[in-house]
Amino acid sequence: MIRYKQMVRLSSDNIHIWYAKLDQPRPHIKELEQTLSINELMRAKRFRFERDRRRFTVGRGILRTLLGLYSDIEPGHLRFHYGPYGKPYLIFEGDGAKQVRFNLAHSHELAIYAFILDRRIGVDLEYVRDMPDIDQIAAAFFSATENTMLSELPKDQKQEAFFNCWTRKEAYIKAIGNGLSHPLDQFDVSIIPGEPARLLKVAGAPKEASRWSLKALSPASGYVAAIAVEGHDWKIQNWHYDRLMNLQEASFENPI
């Protein structure tokens, strides 16, 4: 573990993306549960189904484990700071008191985590499944421009375009940290399959789109993901939680 701490140092121009399977062995789930705060344990108990309790417990426990790796603080002793809308972050005490910015998302049995210093960041992940009501959901949540783009696509590209749009919009919303106070239909993202991910326009803020970077991620077969990062000139390193003890960095092409 000490060697691993030397490998995973954060900076403001290097994003660490971690992937983790939520279906962990039961003994490890118990270990992760012991790192959670009282509030997190209470949240876990509110889930009606055991599967959802497990996914929440594992997801938050892994987050604390990874933050403990970066901060050299025991996962159960971490104390978060919160933005105006409740988005958590950490402060590394010492030279410059760097802010550790992070975000996580999970869908089905996979979780994704993103970490960087001093830049706002957001990530979203979706398990691709049949969506017979794509047009209705898009009409309710997507912008007029995005709905036009979606309607003009052939039927066999609509599902991919829908999940492109959803994950990119969610990643941006999570990055700015305003929650649902920022309507999803008030900004445009690229959605066309094969085209680069981009924040195209934000209503009422003509310079906002140029201040952000969007990137599509390929976490595993059957999943779509996106990351939104404040600024440009950054790179990504991919890691896998299940390889933590093996000191193996995940490849860009196949991180799972």
pLDDT (tens digit per residue) in 202-250: 999 999 999 999 999 989 999 999 999 999 999 999 999 987 755 444 4
Percent of the chain with pLDDT over 70: 88
Confidence class of residue 89 from pLDDT cuts 50, 70 and 90?
confident
Q: Residue 256 pLDDT more than 80?
A: no
d(CA 75, CA 32): 9
Cross-sheet strand order for the sheet of 212-217? 121-127, 223-230, 212-217
Mean pLDDT across 22-49: 94
pLDDT-wise least confident of 44-58, 64-78, 113-127, 148-162: 64-78
Q: What is the mean pLDDT of residues 25-33?
A: 95
Q: What is the pTM of this model?
A: 0.90
Q: Which domains does the chain have, with CATH numbers?
A: 1-119+234-256 (3.90.470.20), 130-212 (3.90.470)
- Listed in order, strand segments (DSSP E) in 22-172 are 81-82, 88-92, 98-107, 110-117, 121-127
pLDDT band at 97 (very low <50, low <70, confident <90, very high): low
Cβ neighbours of residue 49 closer than 8 Å, sequence gap 6 or more: none
- 126 confidence band (pLDDT: 50, 70, 90): very high
For residues 184-197, give the mean pLDDT.
96
* Residue 181 pLDDT: 67
Give the CA dihedral 104, 107, 109, 114, nearest 10 degrees.
-20
Q: Is pLDDT of 160 > 90?
A: yes
Rg (the chain; Cα; Å): 18
Angstrom distance (rounded) from CA 133 to CA 138: 9
How far apart CA 92 and CA 246 sit, in angstroms, is 26
Beta bridge partners, 103, equal 114
142 has pLDDT over 90: yes
